[in-house]
Amino acid sequence: MSGGLLVAGTTSDAGKSVLTAGICRWLHRQGVKVAPFKAQNMSNNSAVVVGPDGRGGEIGRAQAMQAAACGLAPDLRFNPVLLKPGSDLSSQVVLLGEAVDTLTADTFASLRPRLAETAYAALSELRSAYDVVVCEGAGSPAEINLRGGDFVNMGLARQAGLPTVVVGDIDRGGVFAAMFGTLALLDPADQALIAGFVVNKFRGDRGLLEPGLAMLSQVTGRPTYGVLPWSVDLWLDAEDSLAYGRVLGRPAAPHGTEWLDVAVVRLPRVSNATDVEALATEPGVRVRLTVEPAELAAADLIVLPGSKSTVADLAWLRETGLADVVTAHVAAGRPLLGICGGFQMLARAIHDPVESRRGSVPGLGLLPIEITFDPRKTVRAAAGTFSDDLPVRGYEIHHGYVSAADPTLTPLLRYLDGVGEGAVHGVVHGTHWHGAFESDEFRRWFLTRVSRLAGRTGFRVAPDTSFAGARERTLDLLGDLVEEHLDTAALWRLIESGPPTDLPFVPPGAPRV
């Protein structure tokens, strides 16, 4: 068979990514050869895929997570177009894993036909290779200002004949209006592909919801395929930015007698903030993203995460006064970690004719290095060692590189060929590697080190925490939620046979596209 389904949403963050992953895991459990797909993603959270030619490329992190739900290694075709915002007005365009251009809203239209052609070809290849492809939309299909050039939502559904399910987040409120309005703003041909709805993040007595579900079915002529409950355990592999001040996950009680408090600076263009999720899987480690000076000042460890705009975010750090909090933290002898763009900010100087085009600017001066930006982007998987030749893995996505360094500087990691990477300078640590903390031994070593530097002598790492295991449990939970709370028989009929042919039109509808 060559079945397919599009999961669209009433809004961004309605639950498209997790529902897609859950359906993928459910199908995978049934022995179906299934793959995920998102024609175009806009996110600074990306994962590295090593292609057949050995070169590294990027896809959205959500599609890498969905691939894992399918039991697959990531594939560049799973997310052929990735837009990485560098400012409010421009984005880097990554096409089949390779950065090809930087576009503004004014110039995007000229490239869109090429992007659409690439996306359609990738989906066609996947549908030839897999029994089922579960596609994820972007934003909302009711963004009628963008419908003319759309190839991610109903443009994709119409081109590929995909039945479409619309998911809405009831936790935000207004979910019935959002679902009805999404359908009613589409033209007749688009509406003919909208087969029904899924309610996400419901809390409370399902019986209280039933009258609304019945009325929604009555006014749209379409069923609700199920109601997914709100779950506190779904926080790994976030699609995009994380909320200010929110503690990640549900930190377990300390293995020792003390907690370790980690504050991650929520930069305006934060990139791959998911790096710190691995820290949050450890018992007794409290991790949150924040822009509050008091929370940074009180933390045991401050983390400067990756950034899509290193120089601009460094300027913001200074303008907000947070740079002073970071330097005071180090002056007090407490540990600091910089990852990728955050590592680059720690340098004495940054030379950037590429990303910001601001030339040479002073860094925070907390590491005796200089950073230079190269037009060629480093995108690759990374493997090496730390401490006593223990293994560690990660991946790299950056334009900047260390162009000068104090020769006596101690590296944080080493590549397999022995070349040093990153730096340890007193209480200051830095690395270009993303994903290193997913290596359990490295994470435990690092947390043990920084807890001692912070004076948390009662903190102890647990000996058996597995990040890979935590990720698998999350994917299994998603599959469980789909199996237990959705009408999977009806979903299977959609995937196998397409949308019903008798779906009514709901006025007023948009002009036919």
Just list the catalytic residues.
Answer: 340, 434
What is the distance between the alpha carbons of residues 344 and 421, in angstroms, rounded to a whole number? 13
Helix, strand, coil percentages for the chain (3-state, nearest 5): 35, 30, 35
Write 444-449 long-range contacts (CB < 8 A, 24+).
Answer: 444/282, 445/386, 445/387, 445/390, 447/260, 447/279, 447/282, 447/285, 449/335
**Neighbouring C-beta atoms of residue 270, cutoff 10 Å:** 25
The two three-digit tokens of residue 160, written as one number = 């590929």
The reply to whether omega before 223 is within 30° of 0 (cis) is no
The Cα-based distances of 502 to 85, 148, 245, 281, 318 in angstroms read: 41, 26, 48, 48, 60
Query: Bridge partners of 38?
Result: none
- Which residue from 117, 190, 178 is spatially nearest to 147, judged by alpha carbons? 190
Three-class SS of residue 257? coil
Task: Give yes or no for a contact between 392 and 400, defined as CB atoms under 8 angstroms apart.
Answer: no
CA distances from 103 to 88, 271, 456 (A): 11, 18, 47
What's the rounded Cα separation, in Å, for the pair 28 and 69? 7
| CB of 485 closer than 8 Å to CB of 186 | no
Structure tokens at 332: 């007090």
Q: Give the β-pairing of 306-307 and 359-362.
A: unpaired
Could you give the angle at the alpha carbon of 14 between the alpha carbons of 10 and 17, nearest 5°?
A: 115
Q: Give dist(CA 341, CA 344) in Å, integer.
A: 5
Q: Which residues are paired to 46 by β-bridges?
A: 60
- Specify the 3-state DSSP secondary structure of 429: strand
For residues 430 and 412, is the Cβ–Cβ distance under 8 A? yes
Cβ proximity of 317 and 326 under 8 Å: yes
Q: 375: cis peptide before it, omega within 30°?
A: no
What are the backbone dihedrals phi and psi of residue 396, each rounded to the nearest 5 degrees, phi first?
-125, 135
Six token digits for residue 249: 């996950």
Query: Which two structure tokens, joined as six digits, stand for 324?
Result: 């002073």
272: left (phi over 0), alpha (psi -120 to 50) or beta: left
